[in-house]
Every structure is written in structure tokens, then in C-alpha cells.
Chains A and B, each alone.
Chain A
Amino acid sequence: MSENIITFDKVNKWYGNNFHVLRDIDLQVKQGERIVVCGPSGSGKSTLIRCINRLEEHQAGHLVVDGVELTDDVKAIDDVRKKVGMVFQQFNLFPHLTVLENLTLSPMWVGKMPKKEAEEKAMVQLERVRIANQAGKYPLQLSGGQQQRVAIARALCLKPKIMLFDEPTSALDPEMIKEVLDVMIEMANQGITMLCVTHEMGFAKAVADRVIFMDQGQIVEQNNPHDFFNNPQSERSRDFLSKILGH
């Protein structure tokens, strides 16, 4: 059990009083595991991964991330956030800062790193996502695909153990999806623990160790990609797959 880096134990969450968005979630994620979460919209998949870095708080059950249980304790939340990087659907780059400043902000202000060192390390990450030549530009001067790669580099600057991706390619033009997926695949091959909410089934087939299918706040099915796509166990996932793969 000790190799589990994330453990959900009967986690429940409600929005307001009536919307039961996560229902009895049990989930173990191993160190280095690459997981793709899919499901229809409103099924709770984004909420699930947003609980891991406490952008959403759960109201019942236990959630342990790298040995730290997430509660109201601010220090625990800070601890966890240091280990967890996140990439958003809308990139959420800081538009008033240059690409380089976006990357060095947290190392300099949270990590107290000297500016020069932070910039050197940021440039390494920008090389990694093949965008180093845009370091001096502002985010809005870049294309969507470039912005998302900057966002990935920004998350990587914190040397996270876990990376969360919340529909990272959903806001992109079709031509730009590939450049982002390529970067993600490269990252997946380097052993970082990844949880990715996406409908890119090609990506799931290529890199995922496990696919989790959610509906109505529950985990309906989880399996390795091969079996999930070729032989889905539940009626609901078969129906979902026929819709997204059917065209």
C-alpha cells in the first residue's frame, strides 16, 4: 500500500445542498502511474482531480496525497500543492507577465530562489516544451497551443511529483492539439505521476496505464486502455465509447 501516492477513501462532495457531485469515490494511484479520466460532461471528472490539490474541498471521506491527508489545515494544503502541478483547460497563464515571468514567479516568490537561477531553470523547462524562443513575449501574443505548452512548463518548474491535467486540449484548434499531446507524451515517458481528464482517446491508448470512466459522480469502470476500449464492461461505458469513437 505504501507505494500509493494518492488515495481516495469514500470521498464525497456536494455543490450546495443538493448537487452530489462525487459519490463514494475509492481510488488508489501508484507512484509513476499514468491515468486518464473520461466520462460525459457533468460526471465529476474535473472535480475529482481538482480535489487532489484542494481547488475543491471534499465534505466526507479521506483523501491522502503523498502521505499528507487533505483537511482544512492550511499547512497540509500548502505541502500538497508544492508536490502537485496543474494544467487547465483555459491555460490560466498570467496575461500581464511575460512567458519567462510566468515561469519564474513561483520559484522566486514561494521558493525564494534568486532571479538568475530561476530564469536559468525556467529556460530549461521552456526548451523542454520547445518554446524557449518565445520567453520574452506576453501570453496573449502566442497561439493556444503555445500557451498551453507554456502552462505545462510553468507547472514543471515546481518539480512536481504529480501532474494534473484538466482537459488540456479542449480549448485548442485541432492543428494545435498534437503539439501539446506530444509534450505530454514525452513527460509521461519520464516517470511523473499523471492524472489527465481528456477525451483524446489516442493519447489514452498511447500512454495511459489505466483509464477511469466516470458518470454521475461515480467511478463506473476502470481498466487498462486496451481492455477498456476493446471490451468495456458496463453498458454505460459502451454507450459513451460508441458516441465518442463512432464518427
Chain B
Amino acid sequence: MTATTFEPIAARSAPVKTQGLVAWARLNLFGSVSTTIGTVLIGAALALIIPKLLGWGLINAVFAKDYEACHAASGACWGVVSEKFRIIIFGRYPFEEQWRALIATVVLLGLLIASCMRVCWRPWLGAAWVLVLALYFTLMFGGVIGLSRVETDRWGGLPLTILLASVSMALAFPISLVIALGRRSKLPAIRSVCAIYVELIRGVPLISVLFMASFMFPLLMPQGFTIDVLVRVLAGITFFAAAYMAEVIRGGLQAVPKGQVEAAATLGLSYWQTQRKIVLPQALAMVIPGIMNNFISTFKDTSLVTIVSLYELTGAMSLALNSDANWRPFKIEGYLFIAMIYFVFCFSMSRYSNWIEKQVNKSKLR
């Protein structure tokens, strides 16, 4: 046997893709009989639908705030959006005071965006939340520094949607952490309290929680003692979202290997240090898609508060059209408009979730 010398092959870069659009289409759209049939069928359907959509939404549409022209036209009536814009966006909030709601909402949105950025994850962020919420409520509620008072039952539209969603998410997250850890506690009492909480809340629809918060809760309170309906509804959504989120987080906690906790124990870390520095960072990183799922559905669930006469975005939209017989027939256009608003928010959340997933998975890249 002759000895062979080992000659390492130098690393090369991956081959450059040479396919153009035609090559791509041939491979992916007409690669086999079945894909060709699929391509033709879908193409035909699109050829049928798109002209109709364009005709309705663009060519034959009316953009002017003119309901008579709208009734006469065969296309969409986008005039309804500009005509009812202020009511859809701000609900029953007094017309002359809507600048207050606008400022409050813009500041709150700004804080939400800042909270998403890594450079802002500093201790002052908590203080900023307290300040901004104080500003939000002062502006919205008024009654001080010359601002007229606006009761919470007149709050509405997008400001209310954003308030309900952001505050309930911000509160539900820490609650769900505690519940998830509690369900894995060594103490049976804590474990069962947390389990009962989750099962009770998950066992009923959000609508019934809102009903109870709005109508039943006052019956149980002593005479003369009231909590604002907005606060009760906010608490209802928060506890509801927390129950679901707790289960998502518990799934992540269970996926952290036992050896991690053992290693932390041998290093002398306490229970809370271990959870905070070792277990939760890994558990949460694993369940980001699930958490974002919950955030998105909580955002959309806020539309249910209409049921207890709080007119957030969806409620404000029906309010705007139902009260005006001239514009009532153009609900589809109105709903498409608010659907677009919901989509912008939900899609941004979804993109953010993708980004943060990449951030936390950096340690796994080679």
C-alpha cells in the first residue's frame, strides 16, 4: 500500500445563480403537467377577477364627497371615507377637541415604536411609559389646565383601539410570565391557583368576560362605588390575553433543557436569578412567534368592546354610517378602509416579530 498525502481542498464560494425570469418561470410555473394546469387555472381566475376589481374600485369609483353621485355610480364610493373620516378615526370624541386625541395617540404610538427598538431598552423606558400614559389620560380626559372634560364613554376610534391594545399587552405580558412560572412551581397551592386561572379564563369567550366586566361587576360592588367602564374593560382584556400568553410561555419554559437549570444551580444562582438570566431569555426566544400571534389577536379582539358601548375603530365605523341614511349603503368601502388600518398595524407587528427573532437567534449562527 502506498501512502497518500492528504491535500485539503481550498474553500470556494457557492456557484452564482444563472437563472433568469424565463428559467424561473419554466421551472416553477410550468415544471410539470400539474403545475402547468395550476398556473393556467389561477391565471384565468386572476384575469377574471382583476378587471372587475379595478372597474369597481378605480375606474367606476367615485372619490368625491357626493352621496348622490355615489348612488348613481356602479363602482365603489370612496367619498364615504373622506366624508366620515373624522368619526371613523375618533369616534364620538367631541369634534373641536379631537386635536387632543390626535396628539395623545401620536405620542403613544411614538412610545410604542421606541419600545420596539433595542437602543431604547433602558431603565428610563419604564418611566417613559408612566409619563406618556399620564399625558395620554390628561389630554383625553381633560378637566385640568383649561381642557374641557371628556368622559371615557365618549372616547373612541383609533385612539381607543391603540390604548386598549397597547396597555393590555403591556400589562398582560408580565402577568403571563408570573402565571407561567407559577404553573411550574414546586408548591402545589401556587400551581393550582395558576392552573385554575388559565382554565377559567380560557373556558369562556372574550365577549362574556367583557360583559361581566361591564355589567355584572358593578352589581357586585357596594353602592356608590364605581370603577370606570374603560378601566374594567381594559382589565378584562388584559386578564384574558394573559391566560393565553401564559400557556405559550409555559411551552417555552418546558423546552429549556433541565441541564441549564442544574448548571445555574451549581453556579450558585438563586431561583429568580436563574429564571431571569438563564431560563426566560431562552424560553421567550423560542416562543416569539406564539407571543406575537397573541399580540396580534389581542389587537384585533379590541374590536369586541363595541358590545359594551365603547366605540373603538370598528364601532366608530358602524356608528358613522348607521347614523346617516345617505351614506349607509357604502359600508363595504368603510370596512375595507378600516381593514386596511388593521392590516397596517398587524403586518408591522408581524415584520417586527421576524426582526426580533433574527436578533435573538444570532447566538445560533455559525
Which chain A residues have a beta carbon within 8 Å of chain B's beta carbons? 53, 55, 78, 81-82, 84-86, 88, 90, 92-98, 105-106, 109-110, 138-141, 154-155, 158
Contacts and interface: CB of A to CB of B under 8 A. Distances in A.
A138 B260 contact: no
A105 B363 contact: no
Given A109-B273, A140-B363, A94 B263 contact: yes
B277 A81 contact: no
B267 A138 contact: no
A110 B262 contact: no
Contact of B282 (A55, A85, A90, A96): A96
Contacts of B265: 53, 55, 81
A55 B267 CA distance: 12
Given A94-B278, A96-B282, A96-B363, A110 B269 contact: yes
Given A90-B257, A95-B363, A141-B366, 11 more contacts: A53-B265, A55-B265, A81-B266, A81-B268, A84-B266, A92-B263, A94-B260, A106-B268, A109-B269, A110-B268, A110-B270
A50 to B, nearest CB: 8
Chain B contact-residue range equals: 20 to 34
A39 B243 CA distance: 48
B122 interface: no
A154 B363 contact: no
Contact of B277 (A88, A109, A138): A109
20 contacts: A55-B265, A81-B266, A81-B267, A81-B268, A90-B259, A92-B257, A92-B260, A92-B262, A94-B260, A94-B263, A94-B282, A95-B282, A95-B363, A105-B269, A110-B270, A140-B363, A140-B366, A141-B366, A154-B267, A155-B266
B364 A106 contact: no
Nearest to A98: B363
A82 B268 contact: yes
Given A95-B282, A105-B277, A88 B259 contact: yes
Contacts of B268: 78, 81-82, 106, 110, 158
Nearest to A84: B266
Contacts of B264: 94
Given A95-B363, A96-B285, A55 B277 contact: no
Contacts of B363: 95-98, 138-140
Interface in B310-366: 360, 362-366
Contacts of A94: 260, 263-264, 278, 282
B188 interface: no
Interface string B29-70: 000000000000000000000000000000000000000000
Contacts of A81: 265-268
A139 B264 CA distance: 16
Given A110-B273, A140-B363, A141-B366, A105 B267 contact: yes
Contacts of B365: 141
Nearest to A139: B363
Contacts of A154: 267
B281 interface: yes
A141 B364 CA distance: 7
Contacts of A110: 267-270, 273
A97 B360 CA distance: 11
A104 to B, nearest CB: 11
B267 A158 contact: yes
Q: Which 7 A-B pairs have the closest CB atoms?
A: A92-B263, A106-B267, A138-B363, A92-B259, A86-B266, A110-B268, A81-B268
A138 B361 CA distance: 11
